[in-house]
C-alpha cells in the first residue's frame, strides 16, 4: 500500500465507525501518522439506519465522508480497503489493496449480524447493519406492496404485507414502530386499491421482555406503545427457520411472510490472524484489558463493538452500542500519546449515559442516569441526542428538516425503490 514512511510512529485504525472516528480525531495534530482503513468511504450513523429503511431519511444524510474527518491534517491517510488478515508477528496487515506495516494497530471493525449459524435464515432474511442493506430493505418493503397489488392469491397477498421482525432490542423495536406508522399513515393513501388494513407487523423476541438491558418500566412502556400502534408483540418465542416464505419457531407457531428482518443479534466482526481461541470472548469479540489492549498483543488495541472488556459492571463486556465505542476511542487517543511519551495509560471507565429507543411519533423511552421517562419528552430528548451525535452540520440540518416535515405532514417522502428494476434480492444482501 502506498503510504509514505514517516518519522512518526504509524497507527493503523481498521474501521471508521464511532470508535475509529473518535480515535482518529483525538490523534489529529499529534506526533503520529494515522492510517484509517474502511471498506466504505463514509462513516455510517447506524442508530438511524431504520429511518432510511422506512423512507424517513435519505441515506446520504446519515453518512459522512471519512476523508473529511481529518481534513487538512498532514499525517492522516485514508484508504478504501478490506483488511483480510493481521500478522502480529511481523506487525503487518494484509488487505485487498496490499500489505501495510504498523507500529500500533487499532481494531475498530464493529459488529455484524449474528445468524447463530443458521444459513437458511442468513440467506433469506434481511438485515440492517449498513446503508446498502437498509436501502435494500426499503426497496423490498415497497416492492412487496407493489407485488401485493398484482396477485389474486389471498394468501400470497397477506404474506407480502406481513412483516416479521426477529429481535426485540432497540433496532427491532424502532423498526416495528416505524413500519406501524407507515401502515397507518402512508399505506392507505398510497395504495387505495389494496386492503392495507391486512398488513401486519410482528415483532418476535426470544426472551421475556422487549428492550433487554433497559428498565422494566421502559420495556413495558415500549410494548404498550407498540401495541397501541397495532404491532403484534410475541415474547418467549424462538425463531428456528425461514425459507423465504414461512417463519418457523420452536413451537407450532408459524408466520407466512415475504419480509423477515433479522435483528436478533450481533457478533464482533473479527479478523483472521487474531482469532486464536484465547483472544476471542463470547460473541466473537476480542478480549481487551482496561487500556483496550488485546490480551497478549501489546501493540494491538481493540475498541467498540469488537472489544470485550470484562468489568465488574459488565462481566461480558460493554453493550455493543455507540457510547462505549466513542468513549473508548477518545480515551485510547489520549492513552496512545501517553504510551509514546512513556507515561502510564489511564484505565477505561465506562460512563453509562443511559439507553433510549423511539417507537413512534411522540413515543420514546429513556433510561438516563436513574431517570426513567417515556412519551413525548423522551421523544424530544431522543431526537436532540441523535442530532447531537450525528456527524456533520449539513447532515444535522437535512435530518432536522426531514423530521420536521415528517412530523407536520405525517409523511415519509423518501419512499423510492432505487435499485435496478426487479433484480434478484439475494444479490443485494451485503
Among 135, 277, 255, 160, smallest CA distance to 203 is for 255
Mask: binding to a copy of itself, 172-191, rule CB under 8 A, as x and -? -----------------xxx
Backbone angles phi, psi at 169, to 5 degrees: -80, -175
Kindly report the backbone phi and psi dihedral angles of residue 77, in degrees, each rounded to the nearest multiple of 5, phi listed first: -130, 130
- Binding status of residue 394 toward a copy of itself by CB under 8 A: yes
347 binds a copy of itself (CB under 8 A): no
Residues 113-132 that bind a copy of itself (CB under 8 A): 131-132
Which of 80, 209, 281, 295 binds a copy of itself (CB under 8 A)? It is 80
Of 5, 7, 72, 342, which one interacts with a copy of itself (CB under 8 A)? 72
Chosen residue from 253, 254, 349, 401 binding a copy of itself by CB under 8 A = 401
Would you put residue 165 in left (φ > 0), alpha (ψ -120 to 50) or beta? beta
Cα 40 from Cα 42, distance rounded (Å): 5
Residue count, binding to a copy of itself (CB under 8 A): 63
Residue 424 within binding range of a copy of itself, rule CB under 8 A: no
Angle, in degrees to the nearest 10, between helices 322-340 and 18-27: 30
Is 31 a residue of the active site? no
Q: How many CB atoms lie within 10 A of CB 47?
A: 22
45 binds a copy of itself per the rule CB under 8 A: no
Q: How far apart are CA 227 and CA 382, in angstroms?
A: 20
Exactly one of 118, 156, 415, 425 binds a copy of itself (CB under 8 A); that residue is 415
Q: How far is 81 from 307, CA to CA, in rounded Å?
A: 21
CA distances from 346 to 40, 292, 293 (A): 32, 10, 12
Q: Rule CB under 8 A: choose which of 18, 77, 104, 382 binds a copy of itself.
A: 77
Give the active site residues. Answer: 174
Binding residues for a copy of itself (CB under 8 A): 1-2, 4, 39-42, 58-61, 63-65, 67-68, 71-72, 74, 77, 79-80, 82, 96-98, 131-132, 135, 142-143, 146, 149-150, 152, 189-193, 392-395, 397-398, 401-402, 405, 409, 411, 413-422, 428, 430
Amino acid at each position: 500500500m502506498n503510504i509514505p514512511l514517516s518519522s512518526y510512529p504509524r497507527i493503523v485504525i481498521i474501521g471508521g465507525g464511532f470508535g475509529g472516528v473518535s480515535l482518529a480525531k483525538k490523534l489529529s495534530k499529534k506526533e503520529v501518522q494515522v492510517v484509517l482503513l474502511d471498506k466504505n468511504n463514509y462513516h455510517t450513523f447506524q442508530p438511524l439506519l431504520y429511518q432510511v429503511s422506512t423512507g424517513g431519511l435519505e441515506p446520504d444524510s446519515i453518512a459522512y465522508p471519512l476523508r473529511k474527518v481529518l481534513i487538512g491534517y498532514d499525517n492522516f491517510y485514508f484508504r478504501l480497503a478490506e483488511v483480510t488478515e493481521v500478522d502480529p508477528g511481523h506487525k503487518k496487515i494484509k488487505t485487498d489493496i496490499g500489505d501495510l506495516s504498523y507500529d500500533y494497530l487499532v481494531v475498530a471493525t464493529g459488529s455484524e449480524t449474528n445468524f447463530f449459524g443458521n444459513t437458511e435464515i442468513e440467506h433469506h432474511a434481511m438485515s440492517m447493519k449498513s446503508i446498502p442493506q437498509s436501502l435494500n430493505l426499503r426497496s423490498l418493503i415497497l416492492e412487496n406492496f407493489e407485488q401485493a397489488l398484482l396477485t389474486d392469491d389471498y394468501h400470497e397477498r397477506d404474506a407480502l404485507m406481513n412483516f416479521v421482525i426477529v429481535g426485540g432490542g432497540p433496532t427491532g423495536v424502532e423498526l416495528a414502530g416505524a413500519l406501524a406508522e407507515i401502515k397507518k399513515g402512508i399505506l392507505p393513501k398510497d395504495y387505495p386499491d389494496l386492503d392495507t388494513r391486512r398488513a401486519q407487523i410482528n415483532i418476535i423476541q426470544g426472551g421475556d421482555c422487549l428492550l433487554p438491558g433497559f428498565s422494566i418500566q421502559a420495556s413495558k412502556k415500549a410494548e404498550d406503545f407498540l401495541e397501541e400502534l397495532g404491532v403484534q408483540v410475541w415474547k418467549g418465542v424462538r425463531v428456528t427457520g425461514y425459507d423465504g416464505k414461512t417463519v418457523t419457531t420452536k413451537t407450532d407457531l408459524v408466520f407466512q411472510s415475504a419480509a423477515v428482518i433479522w435483528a436478533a443479534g450481533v457478533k464482533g466482526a473479527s479478523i483472521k490472524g487474531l482469532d486464536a481461541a484465547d483472544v476471542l470472548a463470547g460473541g466473537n469479540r476480542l478480549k481487551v484489558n482496561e487500556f483496550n489492549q488485546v490480551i497478549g498483543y501489546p501493540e494491538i488495541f481493540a475498541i467498540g463493538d469488537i472489544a470485550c472488556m470484562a468489568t465488574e459492571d459488565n462481566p461480558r463486556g460493554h453493550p455493543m452500542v455507540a457510547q462505549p465505542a466513542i468513549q473508548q476511542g477518545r480515551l485510547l487517543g489520549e492513552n496512545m500519546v501517553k504510551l509514546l511519551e512513556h507515561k502510564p495509560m489511564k484505565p477505561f471507565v465506562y460512563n453509562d449515559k443511559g439507553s433510549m429507543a423511539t417507537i413512534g411519533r411522540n413515543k420514546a423511552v429513556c433510561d438516563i442516569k436513574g431517570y426513567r421517562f417515556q412519551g413525548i419528552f423522551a421523544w424530544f430528548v431522543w431526537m436532540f441526542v441523535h442530532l447531537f451525535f450525528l456527524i456533520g452540520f449539513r447532515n444535522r440540518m437535512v435530518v432536522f428538516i426531514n423530521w420536521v416535515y415528517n412530523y407536520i405532514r405525517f409523511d415519509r417522502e423518501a419512499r423510492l425503490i432505487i435499485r435496478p428494476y426487479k433484480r434478484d434480492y439475494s444479490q443485494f444482501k451485503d
